[in-house]
């Protein structure tokens, strides 16, 4: 079984541009989570989505960040008008249900804002 697939692995954007990060969950998984890891810091939860619904966005910055998980296709984390402080590794995870099934993580997208 393919694991959680994230692309691109590396993304370079200039200040003010938009960044779009994609995440394809494991087969059979309908729950997606996004995390951010700043350089030399821990993993911070951003948002939890189930197909077509945002369940918990308590970790999302109030402006410029949005996420979606459409009925068809991958989950997208979108960052508008990127700033240098957005440079980080963004990890996506998926799970089968909201019970005790573990989350499985992808290998992340490393965003660099120049």
Partner 1 sequence: DAKTTQPPSMDCAEGRAANLPCNHSTISGNEYVYWYRQIHSQGPQYIIHGLKNNETNEMASLIITEDRKSSTLILPHATLRDTAVYYCIVRPSPGNTPLVFGKGTRLSVIA
Contact residues toward partner 1 (CB under 8 A) are: 4, 33, 35, 42-45, 48, 55-56, 59, 89, 91, 93, 97-100, 102-108
Name the minimum Å distance from CB 98 to partner 1.
5
Strand-pairing partners, residue 90, are 36, 109
**Which lies closer to partner 1 via its Cβ, residue 15 or residue 44?**
44
> What is the rounded distance in angstroms from the CA atom of residue 79 to the CA atom of residue 87?
11
Name the minimum Å distance from CB 16 to partner 1.
27
Name the minimum Å distance from CB 39 to partner 1.
11
Host H or E run for residue 86: none
Strand-pairing partners, residue 99, are none
Q: Fill in the DSSP letter of residue 14.
A: -
């Amino acid at each position: 079984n393919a694991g959680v697939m994230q692309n691109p692995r590396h993304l370079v954007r200039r200040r003010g541009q938009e960044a779009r990060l994609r995440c394809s969950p494991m087969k059979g998984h309908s729950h997606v989570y996004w995390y951010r890891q700043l350089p030399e810091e821990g993993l911070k939860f951003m948002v939890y989505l189930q197909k077509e619904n945002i369940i918990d966005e308590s970790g999302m910055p109030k402006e410029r960040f949005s996420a979606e998980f459409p009925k068809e296709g991958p989950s997208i984390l979108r960052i508008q008008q990127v700033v240098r402080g957005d440079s980080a590794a963004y990890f996506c995870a998926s799970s089968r249900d909201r019970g005790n099934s573990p989350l499985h993580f992808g290998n992340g997208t490393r965003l660099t804002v120049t």
